[in-house]
């Protein structure tokens, strides 16, 4: 169950990596950037992948079964404040 939740969370990182690829295409096609100019920002385009792995691995202790899938569990109710 925890592995399924890990890959579901990792799948959300693909959204941000797709955004980075779109940004790359805008720089190359629209603004005409060359390889030398792209070398300066190339490492920034891979940070969504690293962030997705870090978030998916950091939430590993909190994964558990929810109603439909395995994902981050809802914290238990602590009580009511009167």
Average pLDDT over residues 1-11: 87
Query: In this structure, what are the phi and psi dihedrals at residue 70, rounded to the nearest 5 degrees?
Result: -90, 125
Give pLDDT tens digits for 7-36: 888 888 889 889 999 999 999 999 999 999
What percent of the chain shows pLDDT beyond 70?
91
What percent of the chain shows pLDDT beyond 90?
23
Residues of 38-57 as b/e, b for ≥16 C-beta within 10 angstroms? Answer: eeeeeeebeebeeebeeebe
pTM of the model: 0.68
Q: How far is Cα 79 from Cα 3, in angstroms, rounded to an integer? A: 31
Residues linked to residue 74 through DSSP beta bridges, in sequence order: none
Average pLDDT over residues 45-66: 87
Give pLDDT tens digits for 55-64: 889 888 888 8
């Amino acid at each position: 169950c925890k592995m399924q939740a890990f890959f579901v969370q990792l799948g959300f990182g693909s959204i941000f990596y797709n955004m980075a690829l779109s940004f790359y295409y805008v720089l190359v096609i629209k603004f005409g950037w060359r390889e030398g100019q792209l070398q300066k920002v190339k490492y920034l385009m891979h940070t969504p992948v690293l962030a997705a792995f870090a978030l998916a691995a950091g939430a590993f202790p909190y994964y558990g079964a929810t109603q439909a899938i395995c994902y981050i569990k809802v914290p238990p109710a602590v009580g009511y404040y009167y």
